Structure 1
C-alpha cells in the first residue's frame, strides 16, 4: 500500500470514528434527527474529499521523485526531477540529483577506462591475427602451392581446393583484423575510414553508401574513434538483424555547430525489442565525448542511429 493511501485511510478512520461518536453517546439530540444525519454524512464526505485532495497535492513531489527514481538511466543522462520548495521533499530531491550526478560521473570514468582497455585489447588481438595467424596461413599457402606444382593430377585438384580454402580463411582473418584495428582511420582519417567501412559491408544483398559532407570541425582522435565504432556497430546491426537491403551513412556538420553521424536502413525496425549490448556499448561511447545518441525508427521506416557530437570549440570545460 502506498504512503498516500496509508495516510488517507488513517485520517478517514479518525473522521469516521468522530462521526460514529456523534451518532452515539456524543450527539446533539436523541434519537438522531434525519436532518442532523444528513449534515453529518455530508460533512464527512466533504472532509474525506478535501483530505484526499490535500494529500494528493502534498505528496505529489514524492510521486514525481518516485517516477524519476524508477526511470533513471545512467546511459541517458541529463534528466533530473525539479526541486520545488525548501522542505524535506526538496532536500530529498536535491540529494537524489546529487547522487545521480556522482553516479553518472563515476559511470563515465569507469566506462572510459573499460573502453580504453578494450581498444588496447582489440589492437593486440588484431596484431596477433595479422602477424601470427596471417603469416602462418601465408606459409601454408606457399607449401600447398609447392606441393600442388609437383603432385600428380588427381591430387593436384584437391591441393588447389585446399589452397582456395586457405586463401579464403586468410582473407577472413585480415577482414577481422581490420575491424578490430581500423588502420585506415589512423592513416587516412575518418572520412576515408567511413567510406572503407561502407565498402566492406556492401554485399550483393546489402547496398551501403557513405555520404560525407565537407566542412565538419576538426575532431580529436578519441572522437573520431567513437564515430567510427558507432557507425561500425550500426552497420553490423543492419547487416545481421534488420533484414535491410539498403543502408546510408551520413556524416555532416550541424547548423548550430558540431557533427552528426546518421546510420539509417530500410529494414524491419526495432519494434519492441529491448536494447542489446551493442546499443548499450554505443551509448557508453557517446557518454565519453559528451555526445547524444538516439536509436529508433527512421522517418521512412527501418532503424535510424543518430549521434550528435558537440562542437569541441564550444564545449564547456
Structure 2
C-alpha cells in the first residue's frame, strides 16, 4: 500500500471513529465548552496527531536514508546500495535510484576506460618521439661535442667536457621519462620485474624504495597488470615529489581470490589536502578492473595506498 493511502485510511479511520462516538455517544459540547469536554477533544486531537506522526516517520524513513545516500554518493568510490525498504512507490523509488547508480557507474567506467586507453596511446606516442627524435638528436650532439673537444685547445677542452656531461645527463633524463611514459619492461618481462625495475628507478640519494613481491602471483591480463603498475608508479611519484619521503615500501601479495598492492612511505602524509588529479586517476583505474582503492595514513607516519584486485574472469587472461 502506498504512503498516500496509508495516511488517508488512517485519518479516515480516526475521523470515522470520532464521528461515530459523537453521534452514538452521550457526549455533547456545551457553549462555552466545559473543562471535561475540552480534555476529551484535546485527547482525540493528540491521538490523531501522534498516529499521523508515527505513520509518516515509519513511512518516510527509507526516503531519509535515500537522501543521505544521495548527498554522499561518489562514483569514484562505489559503496553499498540503500536497501529497497518501505512500501509501494518508496521501494520503487529506491530501486530506481539503485538502477540509476548502476548505469552511471558502468558508464563512468566505460568512459574512463576509453580515456585511459587514449592516454596510454598518447604516452606511447610521446615516448616514441622522445626516444627516436630528441634522443637521437642529443646522441648526435654528444658525438659532435666529443669531436670538437678532441680538436679544441686545452683551455676550452674542460668546458666542452662539462657541456658533454650536461648533455649526457639530459639524455639519460629523457630516457627515464620515456620509460615512465611507456613501461616497455611490463610488456616484455611481466609485472614482477616491472615493479622491481620501478623501485630501482625511484631509488636514489633522497628516496630508498624496497620491494616485496610474492612469487606465486596468479596470472593477470594486460589491463590489470597495467593498472597495478600505474598505481604503484603514481604512489611512488607522490612519495618522492609531494610527501618528501625518505623510505618507501612496495608490496604485492597473493590473497585468497585477490591480489593486493600496498605502497607505504614515511613522508608528510596526505593530511587534509584535497585529492588531486593523480589520486583521481588511480581511482578511475581501479574502477576499470573492479578493484578497491584505499588511501590513508600509514602506521607511524606517512601514507599508505592499498589496491585490492579481485581475481576473476574479468581480470585474468582469456
Q: Which TM-score applies when normalising by structure 1?
A: 0.85
RMSD: 2.4
Matches within 5 A, 1:142-161: 142-161=143-162
2:233 equivalent in structure 1: 232
The residue aligned with 1:122 is 123
The question of whether the paired residues in 2 share the 8 Å contact of 1:84 and 1:90 is answered with yes
SS at match of 2:66: helix
Identify unmatched segments of 5+ residues in structure 1: 1-6, 12-26
Partner of 1:24: none
Q: For 1:239-294, what per-residue CA distance to the aligned partner results, in whole angstroms no more than 9, with x for missing partners?
A: 1112321110001100x222111001122222222221111111111111121111
Contact 2:209–2:248 (8 Å) recurs in 1: yes
Q: Distance in 2 between matches of 1:107 and 1:60?
A: 30
The alpha carbon displacement at 1:39 in A equals 5.0
**More deviation in 48-57 or 90-99?**
48-57
Q: Which residue in 1 is equivalent to 2:246?
A: 245
| More deviation, 288-297/192-201 | 288-297
Contact residue 219 and residue 312 of structure 1 kept, 8 A: no
Report the Cα offset of residue 43 of structure 1: 5.1
- Tell me, yes or no, if the aligned pair for 2:127 and 2:181 is still in contact at 8 Å: yes
Q: Using a 3 Å threshold, how does the CA distance of structure 1 residues 58 and 166 change in structure 2: closer, same or farther?
A: same
Contact 2:297 2:304 in 1 (8 A): yes
Q: Return the offset for 1:60.
A: 1.1
1:127, distance to aligned residue in structure 2 (A): 0.6
Q: Is 2:46 aligned against 1:63?
A: no
SS of residue matched to 2:263: strand
Could you tell me how far 1:51 is from its partner in structure 2? Answer: 3.4
For 1:164, the equivalent position in structure 2 comes to 165
1:279 aligns with 2:279: yes
Equivalent residue of 1:101, what SS? helix
- The answer for the alignment partner of 2:294 in structure 1 is 294
Tell me which residue corresponds to 2:211: 210
- Whole-angstrom CA distance in 1 between matches of 2:275 and 2:46: 49
Q: Any stretches of 5+ residues in structure 2 without a counterpart?
A: 1-6, 12-27
Distance (Å, rounded) in 2 between the aligned partners of 1:29 and 1:279: 75
User: Offset at 1:41?
Assistant: 4.6
Indicate the residue corresponding to 1:132 in structure 2: 133
2:17 match = none
- Which string of whole-angstrom CA distances, capped at 9 and with x for unpartnered residues, describes residues 19-49 of structure 1? xxxxxxxx82333434444554555455444
Deviation at 1:227, TM superposition (A): 0.6
CA contact (8 A) 2:213 2:251 kept: yes
Higher deviation after alignment, 121-130 or 50-59: 50-59
Shift of 1:191: 1.0
Q: Per the alignment, do residues 189 and 107 of structure 1 end up closer, same or farther by CA in structure 2, a change over 3 Å counting?
A: same
Match of 1:21 in 2: none
Residue correspondences, number? 293
Contact 1:270 1:297 in 2 (8 A): yes
Query: Counterpart of 2:305 in 1: which secondary structure?
Result: strand
